[in-house]
Structure 1
């Protein structure tokens, strides 16, 4: 027999498994020591709006029976060794999930990935952290699993396609993720666990007859009569398929330049640019959980989400937090020598003493008049110039320019900087030398406003670290709204973050699946 409950619990009741079971049994009017019972949570969210933190829980209680899995979807992967092939450029979440969906539909995916497999990437991440050496094909953005694998693993998305979200989560669970991601309102896997999961996704693709070419960079497209029939790699190899899913991520500037050079239609796209801001996690916990000392044993490291509209020279733009990483680290995310980019990540335990978040300003194309000469690549070149300036002011390595928050607002170079999670180190600079006026002025306005929304947030015990510039792609590769096919080049399916159609692991994975479905429906004979 199964009973369901909607509960409001204390953190201890929600996160201590034995106490949770006893609490549910009491709610059911049963003995809290009943052994022939099993209680589990099916949905959980934290409500910290009041003075007392409440955990909202949906729960199931099973009496005299064992519960089944929380999974509703068990993917069935066919053997596709001899099936028709499609090409997938990029092995991030969009590319991997496009490949898995192709296999489910009986088609052979051939993935072309410029970077290394997820394990081999570690050496290149160590090199950029410790020595400031950037491998342009293997870094925090490029390689198996994409940018999300080593830069956090948050699974929260604002996508409205809720059914697709559940499906993606269940595929992740089927490949080793904990069922907790099906329960938490803001699920998170963690950078320490994602590589193992990504390797299992690869095993499924290869075991089903798919192909993955690592350390293989696409350098040209094979186009015939406005139709793509294949690609050429850096070694001169030609790979062909029934269609091409282009899932290269938001940082593949060489792909944008290739498309532009080959007169394939692309468009400049608004994006957002700013900094990472780092506080102590204890301070954020005390603000968010209204606690005097620390959050205690049961509550997870707290997060925040902030947004503020600003007016600068008569133009309204939003300033907002992005990819907030509680208990996390700031990492160097450059993809080439001569640039400096920062990003955030959190391990599964979120047990770092630091909290960091992107704090970025919306950039519209009208904000960049001097870059209009670059046409579709205008926002990309603006982004690149800011990253180069940050690299120069940091000392022409991966040391990042930084400034204490109140000092930044008061236009004062910080005489000293705080401890940081950013391993390559920080250099005290006036961040207005890095950021243009229309961004820095808006950030200063927003920081003051955020201090009113979160008492204690606006403090010189926090510092801004720059630049956070890879929030989304500065280029859109257009596609038809119904078919997902490029409007000019047949059989080309722009996909995921790099094409401008996703913003994170889950939304990119969903987009990959949909692109595979559309391509196969149009061009694979049944």
Structure 2
């Protein structure tokens, strides 16, 4: 017999299985010895009251023993199956390839960048020398942007597909099973590369193909139907179905669409800064304590406010994390954040951004590149004001709000370095005005947030793609080119690792229906 109940558990006892069994026995009114085991289904932190507790949903096995959880996908050897070309080896591309193995299609993955291990050398050059390889950086390469930008797995995409399926595949390839339980699951940038490598080896073992250093330079069509894909290194791959899973920073793909006169449309995106605090400030505010309990993770926050009719909101919050340089082209500054699995860095950071709409840009209302061009201009301005080598313009929080150039900057996690700059010179007027209004209000919502110990680093600009590649809602094919499946973040249909993975799976399922 199985019984499921919810418990509130002090951090002191969250790892004490015997205590949890005793509490369950009392609540269920059964003898403790009849409980042969437990399975924690969900776990979250409730910090609304002064006393912080974990809320857990627990399945109690009464008079029966629990069966161990099993994670093993049912895959087929597809070496000689019909091919599906997948452009991009980020979360959407890899999970699309994995789904191909389940439904009997052969994935041929074309990735412009390098495998995760080789990619690290290019990331080191970015951090130490400010040198960007356009094909191998924090956004491009095996695993995509998610591999080296935190590995946060919480999502609101459960209506689009099976979130648990995505998480289970991660566990099958080495992720901690806690991601199936935690309300805000997180793998960590230090662990994700090994998981991605394991997924790659599984795809190859079952007959799939993955080609690195294979930048796509054309998608060939006949009578508005896909026939083949060519790469910059002179190779051609023939197939009737192509999944375009290139991520939000593959701007050359949008140029390819423009050259071929294929449908594109401008899409709103968000722009702002990365804000970094000492993690202790966030812990004290969220956990109502002077020192965080050893059984509580570094605290996170989520903030939103309306200023002058504009929403200002925190985005991609990284407890115990660092700010990373995520430029994909020379002469631009783009910042993002990530955390290791233990989230044990002394600082916390979050993107704090404002939505940018087409009417905010002085351009043709019918120009699909209007917002991308605007995004690029801001990134280049940030680079120029930083002075080069990916040094980022930055300002202390209170100084920014009070229109005062910072005399110095706090020590921070951004490795290429920061330079004291008036961020009014970097951000468009309506963006810095909205930020200036929101930050003191955030400080009223969260004690300690509004402080000159916090640093604003510019610019956070790759929150999502500024272009959408339109597709049919039913078939998921491009509205003009049959057999072409615009997918995930780069096409404007996802917003993170899990949602991108689900979209990749859905595209394969759409192809499978046609077989």
What's the TM-score, normalizing by structure 2? 0.97
Q: Secondary structure at the match of 2:117?
A: coil
Q: Secondary structure at the match of 2:374?
A: helix
Aligned match of 1:147: 145
Q: Deviations over 1:110-155 (max 9, x none)?
A: 0000011111111111110111111111111011111011100000
**How many pairs are equivalent?**
515
In the TM superposition, what is the alpha-carbon distance from 1:92 to its structure 2 partner?
A: 0.4
In the TM superposition, what is the alpha-carbon distance from 1:242 to its structure 2 partner?
A: 1.9
8 Å Cα contact 1:279-1:356 kept in structure 2: yes
In the TM superposition, what is the alpha-carbon distance from 1:104 to its structure 2 partner?
A: 0.6
1:162–1:336 Cα change, 3 Å: closer
Distance 1:143 1:65 in 2: 48
Aligned match of 2:473: 481
2:70 pairs with 1:77: no
Distance 2:417 2:18 in 1: 44
Aligned match of 2:337: 344
- 2:321 aligned to which of 320, 328, 347: 328
Aligned match of 1:514: 506
Q: Secondary structure at the match of 1:501?
A: coil
Distance 1:69 1:102 in 2: 28
2:103 pairs with 1:91: no
Q: Deviations over 1:460-509 (max 9, x none)?
A: 11110011100000000000011101110110000010000000000000
Distance 2:230 2:412 in 1: 43
Q: Which residues of structure 2 form unaligned runs of 5+?
A: none
Q: Deviations over 1:248-273 (max 9, x none)?
A: 00000111111111101111111001
Aligned match of 1:443: 435
8 Å Cα contact 2:478-2:485 kept in structure 1: yes
2:306 pairs with 1:306: no
1:351-500 equivalences under 5 Å are 351-369=344-362, 371-372=363-364, 375-500=367-492
In the TM superposition, what is the alpha-carbon distance from 1:325 to its structure 2 partner?
A: 0.2
Distance 1:268 1:454 in 2: 35
1:9–1:466 Cα change, 3 Å: same
Aligned match of 2:48: 49
In the TM superposition, what is the alpha-carbon distance from 1:55 to its structure 2 partner?
A: 1.1
In the TM superposition, what is the alpha-carbon distance from 1:288 to its structure 2 partner?
A: 0.5
Aligned match of 1:127: 125
Q: Which residues of structure 1 form unaligned runs of 5+?
A: none
Aligned match of 2:10: 10
8 Å Cα contact 1:13-1:23 kept in structure 2: no
Distance 2:38 2:507 in 1: 39
Distance 2:144 2:366 in 1: 28
In the TM superposition, what is the alpha-carbon distance from 1:63 to its structure 2 partner?
A: 5.1
In the TM superposition, what is the alpha-carbon distance from 1:294 to its structure 2 partner?
A: 1.3
Distance 1:4 1:152 in 2: 32
In the TM superposition, what is the alpha-carbon distance from 1:30 to its structure 2 partner?
A: 6.8
Q: Secondary structure at the match of 1:119?
A: helix
Q: Deviations over 1:171-228 (max 9, x none)?
A: 1112221110110111001101111111111111111100000011001121211112
Q: Secondary structure at the match of 1:245?
A: strand
